[in-house]
């Protein structure tokens, strides 16, 4: 029955003269998302984005298209040659399908794309509604314009007709690649993949840096992060993942600084390293999964101390989110099950028994003065490895 999908967008529609840039980027991103399931014709007509499908592939195509950032909804539709009688017959056919699935009330919503047509949109709705009601032959079915079980949308456009009833919600946002690039600090936990996804949803390309303490942590923890990056790449495209060993930095902190400051000091090193790699990779910001008060290093004072270590902006999209809301998003995007696999990470390895919760920047900087910061950072970056992670 269905032979076309309508990909609806939101914010793109108010982009003025730059709208075509966002539309073209969205079309490319939809094509890339659909590559894993086959070749699809994706195109734009009169400010609409369409995807040609058939009965055998439209359901799986809908699931893929709705994941593309910038798409707010996907409508499976029936496209036919421009003929008003055909429009009425198609509306009747689709309504019969919905009645067989339990619908008892309906509404016809019409759109007259061809302004030369004799009926207005409202007159079309009345005419088509009368036609389908008189041909249903089912006394249990009635019109309800306020709260119908199903709304059949009928469009009489310049080149063709369209009929559809369902709209499957998309993730929204803006097309990936329209708002610069950022470096995300990707751990194996629940938070950082969600933070990365949320920023990417606003059209930001992402690269990732992961910190590990091999051989004190095993290779399974690195594989876990690779799997998370792979899941994210389904939405974000291939991700360049920078693997950085900070074991020597952690040892140096443990040997020279106060135990209670270990987490904050380590965090400041991570931020500096992420910034240096990010700047070289043309990133304009960092992304972290921090949320106020979630752990000892994420108090207001702790975040202030880590912020002071870098000069580029730090995006924290989870900053005011409750853990339960973060978990719901992780489940929705498919990262949760991987994130909860138990593995020792570099943060827990040298975690102090009583971490400082209200660190003062001057004291943290005084502790850092005992370390050869530049040398430790350079050694870690020089030994880092970059991998390209793709969803296959």
> Does 130 count as an annotated binding residue?
no
In degrees rounded to 5, what are phi and psi of residue 350?
A: -110, 25
> Does 122 count as an annotated binding residue?
no
> Does 289 count as an annotated binding residue?
yes
The contacts of residue 214 (CB under 8 Å, 6+ apart) are 222, 245, 247
Burial pattern 116-152, b for ≥16 Cβ within 10 A else e, equals: ebeeeeeebbebbbebbbeebeeeebeeeeeebebbb
- Structure letter (DSSP) for residue 297: G
The contacts of residue 337 (CB under 8 Å, 6+ apart) are none
Reported as type and span, the H/E element at residue 304 is helix 300-307
386 SS3 class: strand
In degrees rounded to 5, what are phi and psi of residue 48?
A: -115, 145
CA angle 257, 260, 262 (to 5 degrees): 55
- Is residue 20 within 8 Å of residue 36, measured between CB atoms? no
DSSP bridge partners of 143: 106
- Distance, CA of 207 to CA of 281 (rounded, Å): 8
> Does 298 count as an annotated binding residue?
yes
- Distance, CA of 317 to CA of 319 (rounded, Å): 6
* Tokens at 108, concatenated: 């016809």
Chain position carrying tokens 């004072």: 301
* Tokens at 273, concatenated: 């390293």
> Does 269 count as an annotated binding residue?
no
- Distance, CA of 71 to CA of 229 (rounded, Å): 22
- Distance, CA of 26 to CA of 92 (rounded, Å): 33
- Distance, CA of 210 to CA of 40 (rounded, Å): 35
Task: Summarize the annotated binding site as residue ranges.
Answer: 185-186, 210-211, 267, 289, 298
Task: Summarize the annotated binding site for ATP as residue ranges.
Answer: 185-186, 210-211, 267, 289, 298
């Amino acid at each position: 029955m269905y032979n076309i999908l309508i990909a609806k967008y939101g914010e793109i529609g108010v982009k003025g003269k730059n709208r075509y840039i966002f539309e073209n980027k969205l079309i490319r991103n939809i094509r890339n998302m659909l590559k894993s399931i086959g070749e699809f014709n994706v195109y734009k007509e009169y400010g609409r984005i369409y995807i040609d499908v058939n009965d055998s592939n439209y359901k799986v195509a809908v699931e893929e298209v709705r994941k593309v950032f910038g798409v707010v909804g996907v409508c499976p539709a029936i496209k036919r040659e421009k003929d008003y009688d055909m429009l009425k017959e198609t509306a009747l056919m689709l309504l019969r399908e919905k009645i067989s699935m339990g619908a008892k009330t309906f509404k016809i919503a019409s759109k007259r794309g061809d302004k030369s047509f004799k009926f207005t949109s409202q007159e079309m709705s009345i005419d088509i509604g009368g036609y389908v009601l008189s041909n249903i032959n089912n006394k249990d079915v009635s019109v309800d314009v306020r709260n119908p079980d199903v709304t059949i949308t009928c469009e009489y456009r310049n080149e063709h007709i369209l009929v559809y009833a369902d709209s499957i919600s998309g993730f929204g946002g803006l097309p990936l690649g329209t708002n610069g690039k950022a470096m995300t600090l990707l751990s194996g936990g629940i938070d950082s993949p969600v933070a990365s996804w949320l920023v990417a949803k606003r059209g930001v390309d992402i690269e990732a840096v992961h910190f590990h303490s091999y051989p004190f942590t095993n290779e399974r923890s690195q594989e876990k992060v690779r799997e998370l990056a792979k899941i994210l790449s389904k939405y974000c495209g291939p991700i360049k993942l920078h693997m950085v060993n900070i074991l020597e930095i952690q040892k140096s902190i443990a040997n020279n600084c106060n135990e209670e400051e270990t987490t904050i000091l380590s965090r400041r090193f991570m931020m500096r390293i992420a910034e240096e790699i990010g700047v070289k990779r043309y990133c304009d910001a960092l992304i972290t999964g921090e949320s106020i008060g979630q752990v000892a290093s994420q108090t207001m004072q702790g975040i202030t101390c880590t912020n002071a270590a870098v000069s580029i902006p730090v995006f924290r999209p989870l900053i005011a989110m409750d853990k339960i809301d973060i978990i719901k998003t992780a489940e929705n995007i498919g990262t949760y099950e991987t994130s909860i696999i138990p593995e020792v990470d570099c943060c827990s390895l040298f975690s102090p028994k009583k971490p400082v919760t209200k660190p003062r920047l001057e004291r943290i900087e005084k502790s850092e003065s005992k370390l050869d910061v530049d040398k430790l950072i350079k050694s870690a970056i020089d030994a880092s490895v970059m991998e390209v992670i793709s969803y296959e």
